[in-house]
């Protein structure tokens, strides 16, 4: 489980850090490790604002300063050992820390720095998610072609159907890339005309 942070007060210095968690990793643990490693780098008596999308970390952080939090309740907190280290760092360095909630995957400009380069301007967008999904399916030969649909839904599709484009080969992931004319068919007009009466009848039934 990866985590990272960047100093936003002075981007010219390019101060940033990233790491990973193992041994029972979780999203809240990764967020907490990002907070801990960021606090270690702070100077004495600093005012620190941390922007995070983890509501769990913010709620737990606010509980730490509550006089109602007993030692027994503290021991029951998730990742209490890390939280104890966070408290120790804050007290030792005399930090004034506030956590600010930001919307998760909200195309926040600084979150882009923690993703690999891609062709989309916003790496946290739905468009990029679909793009990554497409790449994974292509690389693992798991595009929903007829051979895959036959394997996954044998009761629904009992026989491999021929390719819609050439009508001579069985439709498989391998055939999709080996068929040279396939890349020019962005709209399967022949298939649309073939199944148009069926599609129209289904639409009428649904209405």
Domain boundaries, the chain: 2-104, 141-206
The string of pLDDT tens digits covering residues 63-95 is 888 888 888 888 888 888 889 999 999 999 999
Is pTM beyond 0.85 here? Answer: no
Question: Do residues 35 and 50 make contact, with C-beta atoms less than 8 angstroms apart?
Answer: yes
The string of pLDDT tens digits covering residues 160-198 is 677 777 777 777 777 777 766 655 554 455 555 665 565
Task: Give the CATH superfamily of 2-104.
Answer: Ribonuclease H-like superfamily/Ribonuclease H (3.30.420.10)
Q: Where are the beta strands (DSSP E) in the chain?
A: 2-6, 16-20, 47-52, 96-101
With 70 as the cut, is the pLDDT of residue 153 above it?
yes
> Which residues touch 54 (CB under 8 Å, ≥6 apart)?
27, 28, 31, 32
């Amino acid at each position: 489980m990866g985590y990272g942070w960047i100093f936003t007060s002075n981007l010219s210095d390019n101060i940033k850090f990233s790491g990973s968690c193992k041994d029972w990793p979780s999203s809240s643990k990764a967020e907490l490790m990002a907070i801990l490693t960021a606090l270690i780098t702070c100077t004495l008596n600093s005012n620190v604002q941390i922007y995070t999308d983890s509501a769990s970390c913010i709620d737990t952080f606010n509980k730490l300063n509550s006089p109602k939090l007993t030692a027994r309740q503290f021991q029951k907190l998730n990742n209490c050992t890390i939280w104890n280290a966070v408290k120790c760092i804050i007290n030792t360095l005399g930090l004034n820390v506030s956590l600010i909630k930001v919307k998760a995957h909200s195309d926040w400009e600084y979150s882009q720095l923690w993703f690999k380069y891609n062709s989309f301007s916003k790496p946290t967008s739905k468009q990029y998610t679909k793009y990554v999904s497409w790449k994974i399916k292509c690389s693992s030969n798991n595009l929903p072609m007829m051979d895959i649909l036959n394997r996954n839904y044998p009761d629904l599709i009992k026989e491999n159907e021929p390719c819609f484009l050439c009508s001579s080969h069985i439709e498989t992931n391998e055939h999709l890339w080996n068929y040279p004319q396939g890349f020019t068919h962005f709209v399967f007009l022949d298939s649309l005309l073939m199944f148009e009466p069926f599609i129209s009848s289904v639409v009428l039934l649904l209405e």
